[in-house]
Structure 1
Amino acid sequence: MHFMPSLYSTSSAAEADMIDSGMMRSLGDYTRLAYGGMFFHGSVVPNIPDNAFFSLHPQAPNHNGPDISYMATVREMPPAAPLVTLKEQIELGLATAEGHQTWTPEFQKPDLAQVSSSTAPLASLPIFEPRQTTSRKEAFELSYIRAKALNTHYGLTIDDIVNLSHKFFDMHRDDIIIRDIGAHALLSIQHNLVAGTLAPFAKESRKIQGLLDDVLTFKVSAGYMLTEIGHGLDAKNLETEVRLQSDGSFILHTPRLEASKFVPPSMPVAGIPRIAVVMAKLIVHGEDFGLRPVVVALSDGKQMCKGVTSRLLPYMSGIQAPYAITSFNNVALSSTAVLGSLEKPRSMRDNFFHQIARIAPGTLAMSMIMIPALKIVTYITGKYSLRRTVGVANKERISIICFRTQQMPILHALAQLAVMTPFANKSIEWFKDTSFKPQVRQGFAVILKAVFIQMAQRSIPEMVERCGAQGLFQHNQICDADNMIRACAISEGDALVVSIRLAVELCLGKYEMPSATNTDCLLAKYEAGLAQEAWDIVSSIPAEHHSQEFNRLFIPQCKPLVLGIGHRMVYETALAAGVDSDLLALYEAGAVKENLDWYTEKGLLTRQSFREMENRALDSIEPRLDELLDDLNMEPYVTAPISEQSLFKDFVQGLPTFTGATEYSVL
């Protein structure tokens, strides 16, 4: 299938060579490391609790050790909340969750309710109730218990993970994610990154098979450690070393502070043993043999293993998880700890991408979290807008949803949601289709990520504003969703960086993406126009200034180009899937609105004609707003008090209340 011929079809072989060498030199880390980029698994970190204190213990001098002279120990003082009640509820809820039958999905219809229906009963269990007053330690433990409950419910097998089953992807877009984002992050890392990395080696080793079984059943908590404090986008240059010893064993070592792993959890939590797949460079007789996955025990669930130091990071709102800085001080490992061949690879670059191969399905799967995030914010904002009233003339009160400014972000979000699920389903199909080149399959994941992130980042902040001050409070669930999309934008491959890589490789003619099926569509015209502009920029850059000018002129156009491709593909997929024509028309208007200046510049629209186009679509949907909100089937997952009057009254009655009988003279 031919894609964007104007982008590179006029290039001669000599021009292609010039572009290839110049682009790749000028891009540096962008092109080489796009899929090895800032993998912030969870990407936001928790706060130090009020009931915690630290003791610092000097470590014995070690000239070969990392540039860290103290080991920090976190000690918990007795929490204010009664732990017994929480534990009893957790045990009851977990027992109930384990009694649920493992879910078998039906995946025929691309409707919004489909991927959320399986966990609706779980949302009502005590362990999934919102808890605003738990200590930090309790919050950590609760996230792990919830992750175990969800793990039991889904019952993913190694076949699900290796073959990327529908159940695997549905776990990544389940509406229950919003109840505890940290629990989902743990589960995704456990299955996609850790189990996915271990799986190819399980047939050759009973020990690896046994560990894999423990990971799948959550008998151990498993982390994936790639990026370091000093190496995010340039993860290919990471410094953590695993040195081969003369007896065949290994030593894992962090040479300096900047080489410490950042940010996967590593401290003991909930009594669950913790292991990690640590990406380190293999050193054989002093020579770098490239990246290898290394299996490392971090803790027995109660205390850290010898030589492993975990430094708990402060809280960054959104996810209750013990994100950390982790370092290794000459940790002795067995001869089986390093996975794969010990031979030096022919290509260090190819070896790097081979070892982190599970990042690609993670790019696709983690991006699907945008669906439940956008759904819950849309539902809460919509229901709040329907019930909230303001006073007008004659002392009457009207719902704020009567105002067009209140309607627009909600209706646009509903249109986006209508097209997201069909495109997610189609992208899964494309990603698993081995008739496509691996780069093309990864390209589908990048396109979905770029478009879904843009949709959520545009719509959710607008709806947060439409909820006023109440939208900023965590108990109303909206701000957590807003924080989550920021985390997802840089997890499993930074959205900007992977978009740059995709655009550059398309421009180089290394592969093609599916071309437009209807070139007369407004979005297809925009895509073709950007492609032509990109080629014009590249062909106009003098060879003697290629690297500098390429960075200055072309790199900023890469993400818009990928978004242009993506919006066209989303529209075509939704059209083929039979998405409601009114919702599809509004989605198209929203995508056009993102780049209205281009359409007016090319004479395809005027500002007035666009306003008429958008208003027609809004008018057709507005009478159905309440129905469309109900069709999201989000009620089982929503605890936000602002969404319903009865919830709000109960919330107010439960707040800490202060009254008195004193008098204080002011004037």
Structure 2
Amino acid sequence: MSSRQLYQTHNPHPKDIDMSFLTRASHHDTAALRSSQRPHRTVDPVAALSRALFGDGEHYLRHLQIRDVLAALGDLPGTGQTQTTQARSSYTLLERAIDALGGSARAIAVDDLESYALFDWSAALAPRLLVLLSGHLKLSIAAIENLGDGSAFQQDCLRDLDTGRTAGVTLITELGHGTDAIHLETTATWQPEQRCFRLDSPTPSSVKFMPNLAAEVPRCVVVLARLIVDGADEGVWPFLMRLRTAAGGLAAGVDVKALSDNGFGLWMDNAMTRFHGALLPESALLSGDTAGFDAMGRFHCELTTRQRFARAMSPLSAARLGVAGAAVSAARAGLGLAIGYGHHRRVGPDGASMISHDHVAGQFAHAMSDVWAMTCLVNAVRAHCARDDIDSREVALWSILTKPVASYTAWTVTTMCRHRCAAQGILRANYLTDYVTACEGILTAEGETWATLGAAGRAVRRAGIPGLIHTGEQPRAWWYRLFVERECALAQAPNSARHPDRSAIDLATAVTTRSAVDALWTAASDTNSPAVQRILYDLAALYGLRQVREHADWYDAHGLLGRDRAARLHRELWSRTAAVEYRLPILARSFALPEDLPAPIAGDTTARWIEFAGWQDTLSSADTSRTENEATTEDPPVRPDSPAPRTEASHD
């Protein structure tokens, strides 16, 4: 039974949640979607854009359902709480979210649509829940299900993890080893007489560093350690253990030390973890049918050391794609809030809207092209990697290509939105700082982001340039041909002796950005609305042209740009930017944020802050707020000089 069926059968109405919020928030979106699906009717552009983001029909409705359940959890950005207190609240949110979505974390974990939608909407509406999802759903539950052998011990752990009352996390990174997990030093030494493993941290650099374990809540964890049998190193394997009891106490042979607060306010109970003789049962080894011990206690495995490592790390691919989409979702939410605020924020003696100023509108338009490109990339990669005919190596490659670029792009967008909203943007009540914080955490996970991207570039150099299946019609624009030429040149160039890491990163980035254009162009080609198609083509062109400008020195050095093309680049960038500026309002609405999001900048900001202070009865409403008609309009031009959208779809 799918998680959706579980939701409908066992819990049609989430417990302890005011479901009137769900009805209010989703009525307009659901009606617009259904209206757009009726034959021979004009397609609502907002609904068509939302379908391009979230999928058709049932996919979109399921997104809305998860959105509303998470919004109703009420995980509002707080004030005056320590990071430790907030981290503990995350575990309560995990249990409540699982209960509201049907009561089975295992069902959610195996349902790609539901689990990825949960990642995405958590980033926008419940960021403190997001920090636990990778460890719980993908790196613990999915790891046990996919790598285990169904033993009684493993099934007991899965039952505890299923409700969320026991939290799952994976311990990979060490004090001396972050991204280079193949060199982990933690040891799991086989004890043939007792038929168990002894888990140890033999060196200072082998201490597990950063996984969130400080809070005293029940834990079933997966530990990556080096298997030692009769003194021989058998490679890195995953081991399952109950690290904290039902009362939160530590297992024997385990020490945990809470780390200092991080500088970005990230609500995680990060810790250092040391093992000294912790004993694990034989069934703790998550080897499936690929390895095991015979009756004499001898180890048997046909996999090479590298194959064992790849298998142990395989759950990371889905986790990376989960957080990549979550980071982009945070960027969508931040941009949607910032655009709305830019419309009703009045500045200057003439009371012009903030967004009517070209430096604000231009940055929002560029960010919009980034967000759409990354959304379509993540969607395409997730769909591609879910195919049965795609092997695990390609899945792993796409995950390390996508996650660094998507999360870094999302961080730049959320940070820009925070800056444009100035004093409002720095207050947690307006969500933007939490979005930046979530992106900081995603960027930091696993270690240094660009080291991962460098590994991806080296893999591309060995295996060749990958392509997303069914990417549709590719753009025929001159700037796209430059993309392809640069990508091929970087792939064919001999590895740089002076800058091997930089050249690998450049190649990986070129592959990812070109794939993002392919995915966005395909989304445009697939829509049944000519008006929406024009908007998406503009977004794809704006993103692509900006990438050409970013690497203009490379193109110029290789004789591919020239004076005429540089002038054309400038003209087309202006034209596409202006076209996207004009459509910023409906693009922001297509993100499907709840209509009553409690952030002050999501509505009449002045009135909401006056209400917060309790001064609404002592100040005239005329002095504290503008009317709703004055503050927002249905689809206004962003600037007086913004051109009307073109009347014909253009492929350049």
Shorter-normalised TM-score: what interval? 0.7 to 0.9
Q: Give per-residue Cα distances to partners, 1:113-155, cap 9 Å, x unaligned.
A: 7564224444554752332123445323321111111122334
Which residue matches 1:386?
A: 343
Which residue matches 2:433?
A: 479
Distance 1:315 1:466, change over 3 A: same
1:276 to 188, 209, 221: 221
Which residue matches 1:96?
A: 16
SS in 2 for 1:309: strand
Q: Give per-residue Cα distances to partners, 1:283-337, cap 9 Å, x unaligned.
A: 1122211112122222223332322211111222242121111111211223332
SS in 1 for 2:443: helix
Which residue matches 1:299?
A: 244
Q: TM-score w.r.t. structure 2 length?
A: 0.75
In the alignment, structure 1 segments of 5+ residues that lack a partner are 1-92, 655-667
Q: TM-score w.r.t. structure 1 length?
A: 0.74
Regions of 4+ moved over 6 Å: 98-101, 105-108
Moved more, 396-405 or 637-646: 637-646
- Give me the CA root mean square deviation: 3.4
Cα distance in 1 for residues equivalent to 2:229 and 2:573? 63
Please say if residues 77 and 431 of structure 2, whose CA atoms lie closer than 8 Å, have aligned partners that are also in contact.
no
Q: CA deviation at 1:530?
A: 1.6
Code of the residue aligned with 1:474 in structure 2: it is R
1:266 to 213, 234, 238: 213
The count of corresponding residues between Structure 1 and Structure 2 is: 547
2:593 to 623, 626, 634: 634
Cα distance in 2 for residues equivalent to 1:307 and 1:580? 60
Which residue matches 1:648?
A: 609
Q: Give per-residue Cα distances to partners, 1:216-248, cap 9 Å, x unaligned.
A: 221311110011010112211111111112221
Which residue matches 2:233?
A: 288
Q: Give per-residue Cα distances to partners, 1:458-487, cap 9 Å, x unaligned.
A: 322222221123322333221221232232
Alignment of 1:303-322 (within 5 A): 303-316=249-262, 317-322=264-269
Distance 1:560 1:94, change over 3 A: closer
Cα distance in 1 for residues equivalent to 2:214 and 2:380? 39
Cα distance in 2 for residues equivalent to 1:268 and 1:519? 51
Please say if residues 14 and 99 of structure 2, whose CA atoms lie closer than 8 Å, have aligned partners that are also in contact.
no
Code of the residue aligned with 1:263 in structure 2: it is M
Which residue matches 1:584?
A: 537
In the alignment, structure 2 segments of 5+ residues that lack a partner are 1-12, 38-50, 55-59, 293-298, 616-652
Cα distance in 2 for residues equivalent to 1:458 and 1:549? 29
Which residue matches 2:490?
A: 534
Please say if residues 78 and 428 of structure 2, whose CA atoms lie closer than 8 Å, have aligned partners that are also in contact.
no
Distance 1:584 1:413, change over 3 A: farther
Cα distance in 2 for residues equivalent to 1:456 and 1:435? 30
Code of the residue aligned with 2:306 in structure 1: it is R
Code of the residue aligned with 2:243 in structure 1: it is L
Distance 1:442 1:307, change over 3 A: closer
1:161 to 95, 105, 109: 109
SS in 1 for 2:52: coil
Cα distance in 2 for residues equivalent to 1:628 and 1:274? 42
Which residue matches 1:662?
A: none
Cα distance in 1 for residues equivalent to 2:596 and 2:276? 44
Moved more, 250-259 or 126-135: 126-135
SS in 2 for 1:632: coil
Q: Give per-residue Cα distances to partners, 1:494-546, cap 9 Å, x unaligned.
A: 643343333333333457435985473345313322234325631xx7xxxx7
Code of the residue aligned with 1:387 in structure 2: it is H
Cα distance in 1 for residues equivalent to 2:71 and 2:415? 28
1:357 to 298, 306, 314: 314
Please say if residues 105 and 163 of structure 2, whose CA atoms lie closer than 8 Å, have aligned partners that are also in contact.
no
Cα distance in 2 for residues equivalent to 1:325 and 1:125? 34
1:575 to 509, 524, 527: 524
Which residue matches 2:547?
A: 594
Distance 1:637 1:251, change over 3 A: farther
Does residue 560 of structure 2 align to residue 615 of structure 1?
no
Q: Give per-residue Cα distances to partners, 1:273-292, cap 9 Å, x unaligned.
A: 11211111111122211112
Cα distance in 2 for residues equivalent to 1:249 and 1:98? 49
Please say if residues 255 and 273 of structure 2, whose CA atoms lie closer than 8 Å, have aligned partners that are also in contact.
yes
Does residue 433 of structure 2 align to residue 513 of structure 1?
no
Alignment of 1:116-515 (within 5 A): 116-123=63-70, 125=72, 127-155=74-102, 156=104, 158=106, 161-162=109-110, 165-174=112-121, 176-200=122-146, 204-245=150-191, 246-269=193-216, 272-300=217-245, 301-316=247-262, 317-340=264-287, 341-342=291-292, 343=299, 345=301, 346-392=303-349, 396-491=350-445, 495-509=449-463, 512-514=466-468
